[in-house]
Structures are given as structure tokens and as C-alpha cells.
């Protein structure tokens, strides 16, 4: 049921937003991604990219390429943040 949209803005008058508080350690990377990356590329390979050298932008480009390598059946979105 990955193709089923469960929440969307503008569908109803009431909007439910799920949120979580996280406190990453300084220097920690936080990856926000769509299901075009998560569940497509193996976690081990994603970890390798994140642990590698390069800018955050370069790592995101590598993650998108990785998802495409594994078939990327959906839109692929990756946002990488570094905590300070």
C-alpha cells in the first residue's frame, strides 16, 4: 500500500501534523528523505554515503544516484542537515 496517500494539505479543513523533538549531538547528520530513497537503497549503503567525505550537497547527490541505482520507482528527495 505504498502508493496510498494518507495525509495531504488542503484535503480537509482540519490539518493533523505529526512532529517529534530531537536533539542531535553537535556534528551529527540528520537525513530527511522520501520513500524514493528510504526502502529502496539498502541502509548500509546509505550509511556509507553519510560516513564518507564531501559536502552535504554532494552527499545528497550521491544518495539520489544510489536510489536510482536500485531502481528508484518513486520521486527521490534527500535533505541533509548537520547539527551545530
So where are the chain's domains?
29-82
pLDDT of 12: 76
Q: DSSP letters of the chain?
A: -TT-----TTSSS----------PPTT-EEEEE-TTTBTTB-HHHHHHHHHSSS-HHHHHHHHHHHHHHTT--S---EEEEE--
Question: Model pTM?
Answer: 0.80
Per-residue pLDDT tens digits for 21-49: 999 999 999 999 998 999 899 999 999 99
Amino acid at each position: 500500500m505504498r502508493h496510498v496517500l494518507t495525509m495531504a494539505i488542503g484535503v480537509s479543513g482540519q490539518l493533523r501534523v505529526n512532529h517529534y523533538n530531537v536533539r542531535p549531538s553537535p556534528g551529527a547528520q540528520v537525513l530527511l528523505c522520501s520513500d524514493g530513497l528510504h526502502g529502496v537503497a539498502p541502509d548500509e549503503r546509505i550509511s556509507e554515503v553519510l560516513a564518507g567525505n564531501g559536502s552535504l550537497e554532494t552527499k545528497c547527490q550521491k544518495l539520489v544516484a544510489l536510489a536510482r541505482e536500485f531502481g528508484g520507482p518513486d520521486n527521490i528527495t534527500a535533505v541533509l542537515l548537520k547539527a551545530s
